[in-house]
Structure 1
Amino acid sequence: MELQYRSGSTYTLTLNLYFDAINGNPGALDQQLTASIFDKVNNRRMQNVSLPLVGNTFVQYTNPACTSASLSTRKLVYSREIILDADLYTSTAGYYAAIERCCRNNGISNIVSPGAAAQTFYLEFPAVVRNRQRFIDSTPRIFPPLGDYACKGEMFYYDFSGQDADGDSLAYDLVTPLNGSASDFDPAPFQASPAPYRLINWKPGLSTTNQIPGAPTLTIDARTGRLMVRPSQLGLFVFGVRCTEYRNKVKIGETRRDFQLYTLDCPRNTKPSLQVFNQVGGRAYQPKLDTLRLIPGGNRCITMRFTDPDAGSRLTLTTLPVNFSGLAPTFTTTTTGTVHAPGAPDTLSATLCFPECQDTQGKVYLLDVIVADNGCSLPKKDTIRVAFTAIPPANTPPVLTSTFPSEATPATTPIIVRIPVGATYTADLTGTDADGNPLTMTAVGQRFDLAAAGMRFTAQNGTGRANGTFTWLASCEAAQLQDNLTVTFQLQETVRCTPKPQTRTVQFMVVPAPDTTNFLPPNIITPNGDGKNDAFELTQLPPDLCDGRFGGIKIFSRWGNEVFHSPARTFRWNGSGSAGVYYYLITFTDGRRYKGWLQVLP
């Protein structure tokens, strides 16, 4: 069973039931099943949920060529969205869900009276609220469908590891399957009974730790969920696995699952063999003794020879990084082939090459090279663990210079360039590379388009050298985009290994144009009509700057009374017909203010 969080108080409850399509009773293929949810503290029934059948598909074999007419499995999926109300599901001990169904296959070999033994599907989950906060949890999705069979006397292995959407820790162990209260008289109860549930009865000599006769018997890795057994008897065997879920080292839930494993007599399958040859004289690589050392300019390829004594065996090579991720070697030749068949060779070979840019940074990396056959029921494998160190080609960083000011400033500190409005600014950039690598130069505005700000950048890229030219017309429109226009200039090597880009970050600012006018207003007027100094007017006011425009003029008498005002740069005042001393105030919208006095003579 699975319980997956959706949103709010909505979850999806799902039962995945694997149905024996050969020995199972077609009448037992239910169209719906009932799940019951209980409080773990007192077994109080919280709700019953009817789960309809929403999926019915056949389970595929790991190796389709190993299909057996005596084994066919269907995956039946029962599912429905449910509500776990935050006001109800608050028990600190958590809850459990159960579905009961009878009965098991008569052909099961390792339990007593399988035809009368029921099944109880079971999971535990935590309260949906903890410490007055919503506690979101999805149970782990584990146990992939088991469609394969095992071969008597051969090692059988399967990966039961789960995936948890919440990142919780998972632990695995074997458990005795639950029986429950269902019976052949009431095989599908309308609701599940509360815990505790009866267990199935093992046949003599078998137990929870010895569920399938074998050497070794059935085991599961507590951390990885890897299941292994070498069965010593033929038959159909049931076994139980539990996955326990932990968060911050505290158990929050568990999921139990029953499985069936069929053990058959299989044709004998011999394990394939693999040899790896390193680059020194073609000597065979010796695991745990040799370490490949990959250096610039050296051979970075190894050769593999692989074979299998079985006639017509089809072999496949793969690799698996053990302690590293990222760059991995690749095969340059075919990795599959058939041996010991008419027209086929006895031994196959392949070449594996490590990337030129592989860099182990002084550590020893481990790579498993694996050859697998196509034997039944599962492939047999041979693995060689290759240890290697790798150094990529050396690369000298390119050099970026420019005519921007403060060139000695570290690249992490922005360069500040202040340009008067209306002025044009030009800067040249040069990139060189001692290794002669191809260079590319770019310029990118941070959150603005260069062209929209009146900026233009052109580059001449090349091998070992690149040049760029930046021009800017500092306009009021540019100033309106942002207070500071930040541009990142980058010099990039177009090389495969360890490129080392160089950058310059420059902030451009629009500032007022220098005031070149000789702003000395006249301080005497003679409004006598002779055409000379008849009025007070200013034809050379300081210039407007973007939003800093002429706001107006006011003229006051010596007693502070306003006698004139005008919002126009073309104002004209004739003295109002009264001689005396007056005072004026000129304002601009950006806060600039000019004051002075004026004498009116008769």
Structure 2
Amino acid sequence: MTHFLPRVLFAFLVLLVAGGAARATHIVGGELDLQYEFGSRYRINLNLYFDAVYGNPGALDNNLTISIFEMGTNRRMRNLPLPLVSNTTVVYSDIACTLPILGTRRIQYSSAIDLPGDTYNNPMGYYAAVERCCRNNSIRNIRSPGSAGQTYYLEFPAVVRNKQPFVNSTPRIFPPLSDYACRGELFYYDFGGQDADKDSLVYELTTPLNGYSSFGVPKPAQAGPLPYSLVQWMPDLSELAQIPGTPALTVDRLTGRLQVRPSQLGLFVFGIRCLEYRKGEKISEVRRDFQLQVIDCPQNVKPSMTMFVPGSSKPYQVGKDVVRLAPGTSRCIKLRFTDPDPASRLSLSVRPVNFTSPLPTFSVTQGTVRATGAPDTLVSQLCFPTCFTTKGNEYLLDIIVADNGCSLPKRDTIRVAFTSVPDPNDPPQVATTAGPGLPLRVRIGDVVTFQVTGQDADGDPVTLEMTGRNFAPASVGASFLQNTTGAQVRGTFSWRVPCPPTDKLFYEFEFAAATSPCNERQTSSPILIPIQIDYSNTPPTLTSSFPPEKPDSLTIIRRLLGNVFTATLEGLDADNDGLTLTATVKNYTLAAAGMRFTPRNGPGKATGTFEWLPNCEVANRDNMEVTFQVVDATCRPVGKARTVRFAVQRPVAPDFMPPNIFTPNKDGINDHFELPTLPPDFCESRLANIKIFSRWGNLVYQTTDRSFRWDGGGRPAGVYFLLIDFTDKSFKGTVTIAP
């Protein structure tokens, strides 16, 4: 329940807090953090917490300076101004407990910073600090608080390790404390932070840093390096006993949860550090200073709760009873809860101790007792899900009733030990209309369709599933559509049998029904539907009028230019499939080679006529290979081929021995000079010119006629020079005209 402070106590607190207002900064606490953004860019933040009631807004700094040092050497890397970027109110955990004399604002300073790998690569790491003086005069647990400085401190690793980028963001998002504690009452608060890299965090109490700032220099132009002086604890206080109480202030190493039952009134400063570990190695440290106000609060009696086991009128006894939730029995626990304080608002919650989920639910979660028109006792039921199972183990659950007392609720907790066995559930069943004869025998192009049904006797929703053994049904075009939903479902399998892309002709489709009672998957025994594709094909044959083939050698056809060659081919298919005959030349055309192929295709038989008129195109190539092929028109075509090489035969030429003398005396014997053994013309090698020159180089005769006869032209006897030009070569010699 909410309690308001008496007027006399309120006035006392006003004087207590306001007494040092003129000389204190009214900074309640703060911490630094460093966050990775991209590349070598980071953002460094300073969060300060400011007394929103008695702090003078004019005393707020518009900017502060952060200094960065190299660990080990204390070398100053740089100073960076941090401008103020936000100023927001910190709310109480329970707004109803708000006091007008206590209020906190969160002041954030922030700036981007570049940390290049060639500069920030010291394996020992780096640290950053911001200094500001002074603390509140009214702090009770340290000496001379009005002149004690505040140093906000952060450690971070090098951004390069083993020549590789080492990216890290330090822990952050620590919840700011706005609440107060009541003397003699247990105070607790979650100070745990978060880490963007999911590194391990460990929390420890630490003595707040004083540093180099002072009353005379409250805002140094830059922070000094390590070591920093510490605040001085009052007698009987220390780092492990910072706030007097039973127990004194503690922090949970793993969660960051603060706890103290303070025994003295006043304002107390305390320090916590958060250590960040990655793979067992410490890589960063964040320190946090904060303050806690302890006041006298009106007496608040904690609420109480009674629990009744199903089927029993006796209250549950912690440590003795075990609630056993069995099939067919009630899964609800009856709760009665109350509070002796007037007009107390109560709320129920649960916290699992040795399990996570699912959690039971309340029929009533909150209510008010001992108010006008309200009952003295509230009743609720805590019901466990039907599916809940402890899997043979004994689970522990804390059932908590809390009031709305200030500063924090008081609670009563019952730790329930229980076991739970869910109601039995049978697996679903599946059936098909395929069959009765299996495997199903089909031919290519057939459409196979049948129904698959699934049902569940327990009424759980059923899902039908199809898989293929060692293949994906979708890859062969099979489809399966579930047509209905519910505990009884039907699906349709459909498959137009394709031409198999491989030699696989046997397919096994598997069907099952699945349910998920209590979020645990159950499946039926699968049904296997084998399908055999009946497919056979006899390859076609190919015969021709070409000379018979010889093993490991090509058939070679040689013909003279202009000498036409013809051949016939015939393909036959025993399956009477449609046949196609083709003739192809690699990287060439038939027409350019003087060839023509005329096919006559048809079912079961195909014929073709091949004609070749040898030409110089073929003669000029090293070889001309034509592939003749017959292919059947099935879904998996099979062909028969034969390759033949064609070459142009060069004409036979006699030895070229030109005569070198003749006697043009008209005696009828050797009267003319002629060249009957000239090499014959062939493609690019053709006679171009015949010339005869005098010994002085004068042209005396010329002709392009290979059948010429020269009578000397009345030239005097003597030696003459002969030049015979072909398009690709020349011959030289002499010829003598004898008297």
Q: TM-score, normalised by structure 1?
A: 0.82
Matching of residue 160 in structure 1 with residue 191 in structure 2:
yes
Q: Which range is displaced more, 445-454 or 282-291?
A: 445-454
CA gap of 1:385–1:134, structure 2 versus 1, over 3 A, is: same
Rounded to whole Å, the distance in 2 between the matches of 1:431 and 1:355 is 26
- Which stretch shows the higher mean deviation, 154-163 or 416-425? 416-425
Match of 1:289 in 2: 320
Report the counterpart of residue 592 of structure 1 in structure 2.
638
Question: How many pairs are equivalent?
Answer: 564
Match of 1:8 among 32, 36, 39: 39
Higher mean C-alpha deviation, range 213-222 or range 254-263:
213-222
Give the distance between the partners of 2:456 and 2:58, measured in 1 at CA.
78
1:383 maps to 2:413: yes
In the alignment, residue 608 of structure 2 is paired with which amino acid? W
Q: Give the aligned partner of residue 531 of structure 1.
A: none
Please report how far the alpha carbon of residue 473 of structure 1 lies from its aligned counterpart in structure 2 after TM superposition: 1.4
Q: In structure 2, what is the equivalent of residue 63 of structure 1?
A: 94
1:426 aligns with 2:449: yes
State the alpha-carbon separation in 1 of the partners of residues 421 and 215 from structure 2: 69
**Change over 3 Å in CA distance of 1:428–1:85 after alignment to 2:** same
Once the two structures are superposed, residues 498-544 of structure 1 have per-residue CA deviations (whole angstroms, 9 ceiling, x without a partner) of 44134869899997954489x678989xxxxxxxxx98666969688
**Mapping for residues 495-510 of structure 1, pairs under 5 Å:** 495-496=517-518, 498-502=520-524
Distance in 1 between residues matched to 2:239 and 2:256, nearest whole Å: 17
Matches within 5 A, 1:80-99: 80-99=111-130
Counterpart residue type for residue 105 of structure 1: N
Q: Distance in 1 between matches of 2:300 and 2:156?
A: 44
RMSD: 4.1
In 2, the alpha carbon distance for the partners of 1:576 and 1:307 equals 112
Deviates more, 1:199-208 or 1:302-311: 199-208
Q: Percent sequence identity over matched residues?
A: 49
Q: CA deviation at 1:424?
A: 1.9
For residues 422 and 264 of structure 2, the distance between their equivalents in structure 1, rounded to whole angstroms, comes to: 54
Specify the SS of the correspondent of 1:50: strand
Does the alignment pair 1:225 with 2:247? no
CA offset at residue 51 of structure 1? 1.4
Query: Structure 2 vs 1, CA of residues 363 and 182 (structure 1 numbering), >3 Å: closer, same or farther?
Result: same
1:573 alignment partner, one of 608, 617, 629: 608
Question: Conserved in 2, the CA contact under 8 Å of 1:312 and 1:339?
Answer: yes
**Judging changes above 3 Å, is the alpha-carbon distance between structure 1 residues 566 and 9 closer, same or farther for their aligned structure 2 residues?**
farther
Residue 553 of structure 1 deviates from its aligned partner by 5.2
User: What is the correspondence of 1:14-413 to structure 2 with a 5 Å cutoff?
Assistant: 14-141=45-172, 143-331=174-362, 333-402=363-432
Q: Secondary structure at the match of 1:65?
A: helix
Residues 392 and 497 in structure 1, CA contact (< 8 A), matched pair in contact too: no
Show structure 2 runs of 5+ residues with no match: 1-31, 546-566, 586-592, 613-626, 643-739
Give the structure 2 partner of residue 493 of structure 1: 515
Q: Equivalent residue for 2:721?
A: none
2: CA distance, partners of 1:541 / 1:7: 72
Cross-structure match for 2:729: none
Determine helix, strand or coil for the equivalent of 1:573: strand
Indicate conservation of the 8 Å contact 1:90/1:128, yes or no: yes
1:28 Cα deviation from its structure 2 partner? 2.5
CA, structure 1 residues 202+468, in 2 after alignment: closer, same or farther (shift >3 Å)?
A: closer
Change (3 A) 1:436 1:337: closer
Query: For residue 25 of structure 2, what is the aligned residue in structure 1?
Result: none
Residues 504-519 of structure 1 correspond to what in structure 2 (within 5 A)? Answer: 514-515=536-537
The answer to whether the 8 A contact 2:597-2:610 is kept is no
Shift in Å at residue 240 of structure 1? 0.8
Tell me, yes or no, if the aligned pair for 1:552 and 1:569 is still in contact at 8 Å.
Answer: no
Partner of 1:530: none
TM-score (ref. length: structure 2)? 0.68
- Structure 2 CA distance, aligned partners of 1:15 and 1:369? 40
Give the drift of 1:265.
1.5
After superposing the two structures, state which structure 1 stretch, 242-251 or 63-72, moved more: 242-251
Q: Is the 8 A contact 2:434 2:529 kept in 1?
A: no
Q: Is the 8 A contact 1:441 1:459 kept in 2?
A: no
- Whichever residue aligns with residue 2 of structure 1, its letter is D
**Contact in 2 for aligned 1:108/1:237 (Cα 8 Å):** yes
Q: Find the aligned partners of 1:543 and 1:126 in 2 and give their Cα distance.
A: 81
Cα 1:566–1:225 change in 2 (3 A) is farther
CA distance in 1, matches of 2:630, 2:374: 101
Q: Is the 8 A contact 1:400 1:491 kept in 2?
A: yes
Aligned residues of 1:544 and 1:550 also touching (Cα < 8 A): no
Asked if structure 2 preserves the Cα contact closer than 8 Å seen for 1:443 and 1:457, the reply is: no
Pairing 1:441–2:457 present? no
| Structure 2 counterpart of 1:600 | none
Does the C-alpha gap of structure 1 residues 539 and 135 become closer, same or farther in structure 2, counting only changes over 3 Å? Answer: same
Contact 1:441–1:461, Cα closer than 8 Å, also in 2:
no
Q: What are the Cα deviations for residues 72-124 of structure 1, in whole angstroms up to 9, with x where unaligned?
A: 10011111221111111111211111000111112222222222111000011
Looking at structure 2, the residues matched to 485 and 104 of structure 1 have their Cα atoms a distance apart, in angstroms, of 82
Letter in 2 for 1:324: F
Distance 2:231 2:153 in 1: 14
**CA positional deviation for 1:586:** 1.9
What's the counterpart of residue 663 of structure 2? none
**Range moving further from structure 2, 494-503 or 267-276:** 494-503
Amino acid at match of 2:238: S
How far did 1:204 drift? 2.7
In 1, the alpha carbon distance for the partners of 2:570 and 2:417 equals 91
- Specify whether residues 264 and 550 from structure 1 end up closer, same or farther in structure 2 by C-alpha distance, changes over 3 A only: farther
Q: Residue type matched to 2:140 in 1?
A: S
